[in-house]
Amino acid sequence: MLRLAMNNKQKNNPLHGITLEAVVTSLVDYYGWHELSKKIDINCFKSNPSIKSSLKFLRKTPWAREKVESLYLSILSAIRN
């Protein structure tokens, strides 16, 4: 299940209060590693994937993190509509 943050202070920031770990875990729960690696073509999702290794890579690589957060937000948008 996707985690949703409910915080009235930052209504315009849908990721406020949601950790990167929660985002990655939600995506893995939703897609699984194999399908996630098809959606976002990065090695941390393909080769011996784990939450820990993915977080390490995503924290150091802004472009990859943006892709992950964008995919997460698109799923949230689809669920809400």
Neighbours of 63 (CB within 10 A): 8
Q: How far apart are CA 58 and CA 37, in angstroms?
A: 14
Domains and their CATH numbers in the chain: 17-80 (1.10.720.30)
pTM above 0.85, yes or no: no
User: pLDDT per residue over 2-14, tens digit each?
Assistant: 555 444 456 677 8
User: pLDDT per residue over 27-55, tens digit each?
Assistant: 999 999 999 999 999 999 999 999 999 99
